[in-house]
Structure 1
Amino acid sequence: MVCAGPAERPLISGDGKPVEIAKQAAWTKDEHRLAAGDQFRVGSNTKTLTVTLVLQQVAQQKISLDDTVEKWLPGLVKGGEHITVRMQLLNHTSGLGDFLLTPQFLPSLTGQEQRTWKPKELLATTPEQDPPTEPGEKCSYSNANYEALGLILEKATGSSLAEQIEQKITEPLGMKDSFLATDAAWPAGKRHATGYEPDAKRLKALLPGTVDQPEGVGFAGPEHPGDNIDTAAIDPSWSWAAGGIVSTAQDWQRFLTALMSGRLLPEAQMKQMRTTVDAPEEGGAYALGLMKMETPCGTVWGHTGGLPGYASEIYTDATGTRSVAVFTITNFGIKEKKAATTNKALVDAATCHMRGKPQPSDSPTG
């Protein structure tokens, strides 16, 4: 993987034994020998699980998609009286901005500041979209939507998000290597992938021009060859309902298979979950915690995820029969031009193989 450090690429075709490939850059091997079963921070793939929990509550009539955010979280979200749970879920059309790259939050994202953020604090720092949009007007991806959803879930059920994940998803499905991260620690006795990011100089060239990155400030962690930083010790707990799950390729594909085959939700809620709106910023259409992506070999469903040192694209067919996970041990690093081209070629090849089709000859090969 060009400029990316190690990369993990587990693959399941649906009609035979799982195909698992794990490769890494030579300079990372002394620190950790990557394996296909290593635990991995799956980032925003967590959103698919969060929405599953919400729709389970909708099916039980404990939450309505037409409820306002203000009903559940009075005073916490600006304009919450005009934002419904449906808009909070459906393709990020709430009108809320994102706290992720704000000056207040950037030091925590990079690990320069050791702070445990609470969801209410993150909602308080969430800016308006620029330019402002009304609820339902535009799909604009925001982690703040899912911080609010996690709080609604806890209020509706009376139990913590971590408890709900364990009781309703990971334990029933036998996902023994999956949990919601509450700090930077990795479980003792379990293998986990080590993530890397570009140093401050490389990072500045990758961040949007609107981001105020102080000169010389980058990710905190041990330095490695090629101007890379080990980010495995950066606390991801802030991502919570928006991206806090640690899992493995096998575990997550077990979840997607159960979801898409109808084991976790009634038919009515699955129909709601697959209702999409255009999301050009995300490269396809966005449903309720699911992305509908058009690949060179056809339509796939799933999500992407990114945290410091960890990027993932996990997809399945419409029935959950075939699935594929591409894990890359860098997030910002694959935004560099050559790495981005290579990564796209890898994902295209993996999704084509998952669907049992040859990659088109005019598709980039990286």
Structure 2
Amino acid sequence: MTANPLFPRHHRRAGLALLVAVALSGVLTACDETPGPAGVGLAELAQRDVDAGAPGVIVRVDDGGGRVVELARQAPWTTADHVLSASDAFRMGSNTKTMVATVVLQLVAEQRLRLTDPVGKWLPGLVPNGDAITLRMLLGHTSGLFNYRDDPDVLKAFTGQDTRVWTPRELLAAATAHDPLFAPGTDYAYSNTNYVALGLVAEKVTGRSLGDLVQERIAGPLHLKRTYLVEGNDGTGESSALAHGYEPDAAHIAPLLPSGTPAGTAFAGPARSAGYVDTTFVNASTQWAAGGMVSTAPDWARFDSALLSGELLPPALLEEMQTTRPEEAAFPDRRYGLGLERVTTPCGTVWGHNGQVAGYSSEAYTDDTGKRTASVLTATIFGLAAPKAGAANRELVNAAVCAMLGKPVPATSTVPAG
């Protein structure tokens, strides 16, 4: 979402959070007090996060030694909508890209696709200069394609101000109506357009819907019971079981938006106390292959473990996925592979992704063996933009990742801004 007027990278990457709230309803195991900074436990750090302004947060940490931390916290004003549980379904945002990339690479393993295939081979006429843009470029965000979320009309749908249901082809058309950012393969720029194109390629080569491919190739074999792709606006109709997401209302979000954001930009939804709107049921049609997955913290940890341990891809293609390049200069601690990020943290290197859609921020990581996992799912994006909330969130993220790796949080550490 690099150039997006609403979500510049410093918002997409800053403190994507593990927030938790005043009312505990998740599973607190005996290990929920895993020491964080100065011996503070994850549960206390999660509560601090909520007290700082996060509407709700789910935290799950597995250190690979049989100890699993699962907890949820939420602000009291949110309980009338939904009592948050550590196993609740959650919109995973751009974590979706890792799963879509896995499907595409499985098709490469089956020799139905090649990383060197030009997108024009599979989507003739849909992508200008498509003969010069390869599937590898799409997977690694080096295509130069404009990010469709920067288009003003798409942005209105993303924030729920417009209820128009966008199709994947319409999203691709909205992007390609704009000039490319650079010549294919010459630079890096994170763009959701790349993954919409990849989703269409996967459907073209298989004759199956992307949602079916996810179920048949990943969710089914891994027994992920509450993981599915939203196709259209409401996916499988399971949205009533979602953890609720929230964004600051128009008055409160205005000072948090980046300069250059179109006037009047705000999220639609029923008003809530504390200056928020409920965005749970906002228009989801702009997500699809770029950010449309719904899952749970346990399900996503299972996926990350399977991927990094080699269950889903042959070694050569997992190595391709983990061959990274630097992201924008502002994020020196993050490198992007093929739908997978390598992140340097105060306690070591982890693999995974993060994501944001209206009312939901997610971070999901594992070690390089897939044995250890950490997930932090937060019920807001811009609720974390205030300095106090952002700092509390970063402290919690640090503690969760360090607990995953079995290390104490360095006293002076901060989470990378990315």
Give the counterpart letter for 1:102 in structure 2: D
Secondary structure of residue in 2 paired with 1:237: coil
1:114 aligns with one of 160, 163, 181: 163
Q: Show structure 2 runs of 5+ residues with no match.
A: 1-49
Instruction: Give the match for residue 300 of structure 1.
Output: 350
Deviation at 1:7, TM superposition (A): 1.3
Q: Give the aligned partner of residue 257 of structure 1.
A: 305
CA offsets, 1:182-237, max 9 Å, x none?
Answer: 323675597421000011123233333233133xx421111111210000011323
1:306 partner letter: Q
Question: Match for 2:152 among 70, 82, 103?
Answer: 103
Confirm or deny that 1:52 pairs with 2:102.
yes
Task: Provide the secondary structure at the position in 1 that maps to 2:66.
Answer: coil
Change (3 A) 1:213 1:101: farther
Q: How does 1:1-366 map to 2 (within 5 A)?
A: 1=50, 2-90=52-140, 92-126=141-175, 132-182=181-231, 183-184=233-234, 187=237, 191-214=241-264, 217-280=265-328, 283-364=333-414
Which structure 1 segments of 5+ residues have no match? none
Say which is worse superposed, 105-114 or 203-212, in terms of deviation.
203-212
Partner SS for 1:112: coil
* TM-fit CA distance, 1:324: 0.4
CA distance 1:70–1:221, shift in 2 (3 Å):
same
The offset of 1:12, in angstroms, is: 1.6
Which stretch shifts more, 16-25 or 138-147? 16-25
Question: Greater shift after overlay, 183-192 or 294-303?
Answer: 183-192
What secondary structure does 2:153 align onto? coil
Assess, with a 3 A threshold, how the Cα gap between structure 1 residues 81 and 189 changes in structure 2: closer, same or farther: closer
Distance 2:243 2:395 in 1: 22
Do 1:11 and 1:21's aligned partners in 2 also have CA atoms closer than 8 Å? no
Deviations 1:144-168 (A, max 9, x none): 0000000000011111101111111
Measure, in 1, the Cα distance between the counterparts of 2:66 and 2:209.
Answer: 38
Does the 8 Å CA contact 1:285/1:293 hold for their aligned counterparts?
Answer: yes
- Give the letter aligned to residue 290 of structure 2: A
One-letter identity of the residue aligned with 2:256? L
The structure 1 segments of at least 4 consecutive aligned residues displaced by more than 4 Å after TM superposition are 127-131, 185-190
**Within 2, Cα distance between the matches of 1:318 and 1:72?**
33
Q: Secondary structure at the match of 1:311?
A: strand
Q: Determine the C-alpha separation between the residues in 2 that align with 1:246 and 1:189.
A: 9
Q: Which amino acid aligns with 1:124?
A: A
Q: Is the 2:256–2:382 Cα contact (8 Å) retained in structure 1? A: yes
C-alpha distance in 2 between matches for 1:201 and 1:134: 40
Cα distance in 2 for partners of 1:347, 1:144 equals: 28
Supply the distance in 1 between the matched residues of 2:239 and 2:109 (Cα, whole angstroms).
Answer: 38
Using the TM superposition, name which of 311-320 and 80-89 deviates more.
80-89
Using the size of structure 2 for normalisation, the TM-score is 0.83
Q: Is the 8 A contact 2:245 2:279 kept in 1?
A: yes
Aligned with 1:52: secondary structure? helix
Partner of 2:24: none
Return the offset for 1:337. 2.2
Q: 1:185 to 1:3 in 2, by over 3 A?
A: farther
- Change in Cα spacing, 1:364 to 1:302, as seen in structure 2 (3 Å) is closer
Paired-residue identity, %: 47
The alignment covers a number of residue pairs equal to 362
> TM-score when scaled to structure 1?
0.94
RMSD value, Cα: 1.9
Matched-pair contact (CA < 8 Å) for 1:186–1:192? no
> Structure 2: how far apart are the matches of 1:132 and 1:8?
36
Contact 1:95/1:129 (<8 A) preserved? no
The AA in structure 1 aligned to 2:321 is M
Deviation at 1:87, TM superposition (A): 0.8
**Is the 1:103–1:211 Cα contact (8 Å) retained in structure 2?**
no
